[in-house]
């Protein structure tokens, strides 16, 4: 298959490209060319800029599918569809689990649960409007493409090359064993999905030309279990009232957001890598890069 990736050299996109190449698909990358220019030698690259709406590099060519990893606001998906929708088969949009309205959510979230109201009045996506902007993106892709659209909603994604360092923070904290102060609830539910599992899901859906909505999440577990999975050593986990750390939520009302069903994604081919295996990969990568200061 010929697959166009809109953003494929950072974290999630990188994992998807690696899985596509592992399965011998023909990949074209579209992006600014600033992230990972040394990656994927021999793969066709088209240079453009979604922030300015420059898709001129995509004026020619046909693809069996497009994976949109880097759209955050409705303009991004609208302009991308204008540029290529008549020359692609399936349009797979990487959305987010943040589209759900936790205030209306039942105890266990599936893909048909209520979402936030869409927002189109801002492009400040890196903040409170993030989920609502992604809702608007989903709506526009589905309205225009119908059964040619596929929506994947990842939760917290874990693995090497994660620029957020959310999971890496806990892997590094647990590496030496001993006492770890947790500024939150050890009983808080949490879900992480291995980036490679997410990539397998995406490629499997493309290969089967399969529409639908899919939660790409890992198994829900207490936060304590996640941290203990990050190291084979003995850990003394202690709840504290001060400080901050990634993935910990103060408000118990948000707990439902870490109780999402992945049944539909597993039925579509997504595996479930044990958290300990993901942590081992992240630890090896973190050591190899010299354990730089974390972004969190």
User: Averaged over 99-118, what is the pLDDT?
Assistant: 91
Q: Mean of the pLDDT values across residues 47-54?
A: 96
CB atoms near residue 186 (< 10 Å)? 16
CATH fold for the domain made of 163-191+219-255+273-288: UDP-galactose 4-epimerase; domain 1 (3.90.25)
The yes-or-no verdict on residue 80 having pLDDT over 90 is yes
Query: Residue 66 pLDDT > 90, yes or no?
Result: yes
Exposure class string for 60-97: b at 16+ Cβ within 10 A, else e? eeebbbbbbbbbbbbbbbbbbbebbbeebebbbbbbbb
- Confidence class of residue 85 from pLDDT cuts 50, 70 and 90? confident
Whether this model's pTM surpasses 0.95:
yes
Bridge-based pairing of strands 189-190 and 221-222 is antiparallel
Find the helix or strand (DSSP H, E) in which 237 lies. Answer: strand 235-239
pLDDT (0 to 100) of residue 251: 85
Amino acid 296: pLDDT:
76
DSSP H or E run through 16: helix 12-22
Residue-level pLDDT at 41: 94
Rounded to the nearest 10 degrees, the angle between the axes of helix 74-84 and helix 130-145 is 30
What is the rounded CA–CA span in Å between residue 83 and residue 35? 22
In this predicted structure, what is the pLDDT of residue 266?
Answer: 98
Fold match between domain 2-157+192-216 and domain 163-191+219-255+273-288: no
pLDDT digits (tens, 9 = 90+) for 177-227: 999 999 999 999 999 999 999 999 999 999 999 999 999 999 999 999 999
DSSP, residue by residue, 100-152: B-GGG--SSB-TTS-BPPP--S---TTTTTHHHHHHHHHHHHHHHHGGGEEEE
143-166 pLDDT per residue, tens: 999 999 999 999 999 999 999 999
- What is the C-alpha to C-alpha distance for residues 232 and 290, in angstroms, rounded to an integer? 21
Domain boundaries, the chain: 2-157+192-216, 163-191+219-255+273-288
Fold of 2-157+192-216: Rossmann fold (3.40.50)
């Amino acid at each position: 298959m010929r697959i166009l990736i809109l953003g494929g050299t950072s974290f999630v996109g990188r994992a998807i490209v690696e899985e596509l190449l592992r399965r011998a698909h023909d990949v074209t990358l579209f992006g600014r060319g600033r992230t990972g220019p040394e990656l994927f030698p021999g793969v066709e690259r088209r240079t453009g800029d979604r922030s300015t709406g420059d898709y001129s590099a995509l004026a020619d060519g046909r693809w069996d599918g497009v994976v949109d990893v880097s759209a955050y606001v409705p303009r991004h998906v609208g302009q991308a569809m204008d540029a290529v929708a008549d020359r692609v088969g399936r349009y797979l949009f990487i959305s987010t689990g943040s589209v759900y309205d936790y205030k209306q959510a039942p105890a266990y979230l599936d893909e048909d649960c209520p979402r936030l109201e869409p927002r189109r009045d801002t492009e400040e996506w890196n903040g409170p409007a993030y989920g609502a902007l992604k809702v608007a993106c989903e709506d526009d892709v589905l309205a225009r493409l119908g059964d040619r659209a596929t929506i994947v909603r990842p939760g917290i994604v874990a693995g090497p090359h994660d620029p957020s360092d959310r999971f890496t923070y806990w892997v590094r904290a647990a590496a030496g064993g001993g006492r770890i102060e947790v500024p939150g609830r050890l009983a808080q539910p949490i879900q992480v999905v291995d980036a490679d599992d997410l990539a397998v899901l995406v490629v499997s859906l493309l290969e089967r030309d399969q529409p639908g909505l899919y939660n790409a999440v890992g198994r829900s577990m207490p936060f304590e279990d996640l941290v203990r999975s990050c190291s084979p050593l003995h850990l003394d986990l202690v709840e504290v009232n001060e400080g901050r750390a990634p993935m910990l939520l103060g408000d118990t009302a948000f707990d439902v957001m870490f109780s999402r069903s992945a049944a539909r994604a597993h039925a579509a081919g997504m595996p479930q890598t044990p958290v300990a295996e993901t942590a081992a990969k992240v630890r090896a990568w973190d050591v190899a890069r010299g354990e730089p200061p974390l972004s969190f």
